[in-house]
C-alpha cells in the first residue's frame, strides 16, 4: 500500500477512506488481504483514530471483513449484493432513459456526444481506470436529462459491490470496447428520440454484468464469496 500521497487540505479520514476504498474497488487489494489499523496508520503517517473510522465505514459497505480476535481482511465480492444493485439500476435507469428521450433538447444531444468523445481515448488506450468515471458521467447525464438528478444518489448507495465487478471486467480491452459500443447505441437511440429503443438497449447494457460475472468467476474465482 505504498505510493499513496494524501492531500492534507481535506479531512484526513475522508482522504484515507477514498484512497483505501479505491484500492479495494479496483482490485489492487484482493479479497483475503490482511490489513490492520496499526500497520495502515503507520504507513500513512497518521494516528489510529481516523483509520478506525475508515475501517468501520468500509466494513459497513461490505468491503472489509472484521473477524474478532483474528483480524481484518478485504472482503470478497457478494454476488447477492451485485444482483440487488443491478436490479435497482435496471429498474431506475430504464425508466429514466425513457424520460430523458421525452425531455431531450438539441443541447442535450451535443452533451451526450461530448461524453462519448471523452470516453473514446480511454477505450483506445485500454485505460479502464480513466474510463470508469467517464462511464459514470454518461449515466449521470441521462438521469439529469430525465429531470431526476437525485436518483443517482440512490443508485450510488447500493452499487459498491457491482462497481467491483465493473472494474475487474473493464481490465479486458474487448470488454471495454463492448461497453463503449453499447453507450454509442444508447446515445444514438436517445438522439433519434426512440424511447423504446433506448430503454431496450439500456436494459441489455445493464444486464451485461451477468456475463461479466461468468467470465470473472472463471478467471478470478477468489474474488467472489461462496454462494450460500
- Where does the pLDDT of residue 9 fall: very low under 50, low under 70, confident under 90, or very high at 90 and above? very low
The answer on pLDDT for 2 being more than 60 is no
165-175 per-position pLDDT tens digit: 999 999 999 99
Write down the pTM of the prediction: 0.89
50-83 per-position pLDDT tens digit: 899 999 999 999 999 998 888 999 999 999 999 9
Mean pLDDT of the residues in the chain: 93
CB 4 within 8 Å of CB 19: yes
Q: Cα separation of 10 and 121, whole Å?
A: 30
In angstroms, how far is the first alpha carbon of the chain from the final one?
Answer: 32
Average pLDDT (189-203) is: 98
Predicted pLDDT of residue 175:
96
At residue 67, the 3 state secondary structure works out as strand
The answer on pLDDT for 3 being more than 60 is no
Predicted pLDDT of residue 228:
62
Predicted pLDDT of residue 11:
78
89-139 per-position pLDDT tens digit: 999 999 999 999 999 999 999 999 999 999 999 999 999 999 999 999 999
CB 82 within 8 Å of CB 209: yes
CB crowding 17-50: b at 16 or more within 10 Å, else e: bebbbebbbbbebebeeebebeebbeebebeeeb
Amino acid at each position: 500500500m505504498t505510493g499513496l500521497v494524501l492531500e492534507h487540505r481535506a479531512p484526513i479520514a475522508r482522504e484515507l477512506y477514498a484512497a483505501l476504498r479505491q484500492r479495494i474497488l479496483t482490485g489492487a487489494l484482493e479479497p483475503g488481504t490482511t490489513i490492520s489499523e496499526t500497520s495502515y496508520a503507520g504507513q500513512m503517517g497518521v494516528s489510529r483514530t481516523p483509520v478506525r473510522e475508515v475501517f468501520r465505514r468500509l466494513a459497513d459497505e461490505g468491503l472489509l471483513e472484521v473477524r474478532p480476535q483474528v483480524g481484518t481482511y478485504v472482503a470478497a465480492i457478494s454476488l447477492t449484493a451485485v444482483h440487488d444493485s443491478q436490479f435497482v439500476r435496471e429498474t431506475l435507469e430504464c425508466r429514466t432513459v425513457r424520460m430523458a428521450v421525452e425531455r431531450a433538447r438539441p443541447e442535450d444531444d451535443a452533451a451526450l456526444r461530448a461524453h462519448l468523445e471523452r470516453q473514446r481515448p480511454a477505450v483506445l488506450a485500454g485505460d479502464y481506470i480513466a474510463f470508469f468515471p467517464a462511464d459514470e458521467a454518461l449515466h449521470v447525464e441521462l438521469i439529469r436529462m430525465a429531470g431526476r438528478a437525485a436518483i443517482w444518489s440512490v443508485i450510488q448507495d447500493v452499487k459498491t459491490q457491482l462497481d467491483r465487478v465493473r472494474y475487474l471486467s473493464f481490465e479486458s480491452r474487448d470488454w471495454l470496447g463492448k461497453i463503449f459500443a453499447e453507450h454509442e447505441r444508447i446515445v444514438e437511440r436517445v438522439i433519434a428520440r426512440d424511447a423504446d429503443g433506448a430503454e431496450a438497449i439500456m436494459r441489455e447494457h445493464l444486464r451485461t454484468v451477468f456475463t461479466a460475472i461468468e467470465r470473472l468467476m472463471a478467471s478470478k474465482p477468489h474474488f467472489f464469496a461462496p454462494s450460500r
